[in-house]
Amino acid sequence: MMDRNKQIKSFISNIIDKNYAAATTELKSVVEAKLKQKIAKATKKDLF
Amino acid sequence: MSNISDLLKEVGKDVLTEDSLKQIETVFNETVDKKADERSKIATEAALTTQDAEHSKKLEELLEAIDKDHTKKLNKVVEAVDQDRTRKLKNVVRRYRQSINEEATSLKDTVVESVSDYLDSYIAEAIPTKTIEEATTNKRAYALLSDIRKMLSVDMVLANDSIREAVKDGKDTINAQKNELNELTKSHNTVSEELEDLKKDLYLERKLAGLDEKKTNFVRKTFKDKDLTFIEENFEYTVNIFDKKAQESLDLLKEEAMTESKTKEAKVEVVEEKSQAPKTAASRYAQELASMRL
């Protein structure tokens, strides 16, 4: 969670600095982490 | 002071009439008065001018002194006011800076949370949670099914009927050949054992030819479960041991016969010596020979 907040802060900083390439990378990482979290949550449910 | 009229009377008592004198006196007096007025006026103006100059100078000095004093005081006032305002402004700046920093930190956290919430809502809208759960379930089910297929040896290829028959035939053939191989191996082992026994019997027959029955029985009994190599290595030694024991038994019987003839009723205690646990093959055979009644 802390890492994700750091990544979001870094994303905002890069947007402010107009470093859009790095901002895109950070945004991808954040979105990927969020999707992984959702998948992990879904995996915990019983299959049958 | 004598009047001008009296002077003129004395000077011109024969020339001037009374009227002339009066006129002269009038004119003279007027002229003198006029001149006196002019002179007094000039003196007054000069005095006033001098006084003005002095007063101006004094006023200038006074103004200069007042200016200096006021300047000095004003400088002090300005300096004090500056210090006070500077201190107050510094306090204000510090306060605002602290407030700005706190607010900035709070604002930063708020912005981060807002962005995170926005991303959550965007992802939830773009890829619904139900879809993710369904995809995850499908993936897990597929993996589970693959594991089950592997476990049951039911491949995707085997799902085809024609290939399934061929694989079944192949499996049957392999099983039949495996059974045949087992039987052949078993038969080969039996034949090998029989061959070994025959070789052993042949060897013993050849070696025991011409020997008496007791020795033959003893040797056969000793080498009953032994292989041919062992028999070849230990045959001579076994026969020698048998001969030695037979000789010892014979000697013992002779000694007993002699003893019985001398002391008919004397009891002879037979002391049996038991050796410790034999460890070598020779000692084992010796023990076996000793236990036998020859």
Chains A, B: CB contacts within 8 A come to: 40
* Average pLDDT over chain B, rounded to an integer: 84
Q: Do B112 and A12 touch (CB under 8 A)?
A: yes
Distance between the two ends of chain A, CA-based, in angstroms? 31
Closest alpha carbon to B224 in B243, B205, B246, B200: B200
Cβ neighbour number for residue A11 with a 10 Å cutoff: 22
Q: What pLDDT score was predicted for residue B294?
A: 46
Residue boundaries of the structural domains of chain B = 4-110, 154-208, 210-261+276-294
Task: Identify which has the larger pLDDT, B280 or B236.
Answer: B236
- Say yes or no to pLDDT of B80 above 90: yes
Q: What pLDDT score was predicted for residue B289?
A: 60
ipTM (interface pTM)? 0.91
Q: What pLDDT score was predicted for residue B281?
A: 60
The answer to whether the beta carbons of residues B24 and B4 sit under 8 Å apart is yes
**Separation in Å, CA B217 to CA B82, B230, B236:** 138, 18, 15
Q: Between vectors from CA B96 to CA B91 and to CA B102, what angle results, nearest 5°?
A: 130
Query: Rounded to 10 degrees, what is the CA torsion of A7, A11, A17, A19?
Result: 100
pTM here is 0.37
Q: What pLDDT score was predicted for residue B157?
A: 62
Contacts of B199 (CB under 8 A, 6+ apart): B228
- Say yes or no to pLDDT of B1 above 60: no
Polymer length in residues for chain B? 294
Q: Do A35 and B144 touch (CB under 8 A)?
A: no
Q: What pLDDT score was predicted for residue B204?
A: 86
Q: Do B115 and A12 touch (CB under 8 A)?
A: yes
Residue of B112, B119, B141 with shortest CB distance to A9: B112
Could you report the per-residue pLDDT of B171-223, keeping only the tens digit for each? 999 999 999 999 999 999 999 989 988 988 888 888 888 888 888 888 888 88
Cα–Cα distance measured from residue B21 to residue B1, given in angstroms and rounded to the nearest whole number: 18
Residue of B111, B123, B141 with shortest CB distance to A47: B141
In this structure, what token pair is assigned to residue B290? Answer: 């000793």
Q: Hunting for tokens 């004598």 — which residue is that?
A: B2
Could you report the per-residue pLDDT of B9-49, keeping only the tens digit for each? 777 767 777 788 788 888 988 999 999 999 999 999 999 99
Q: Between vectors from CA B36 to CA B33 and to CA B39, what angle results, nearest 5°?
A: 150
- Say yes or no to pLDDT of B231 above 60: yes
B78 lies within 8 A of chain A by CB: no
In this structure, what token pair is assigned to residue B247? Answer: 């000789």
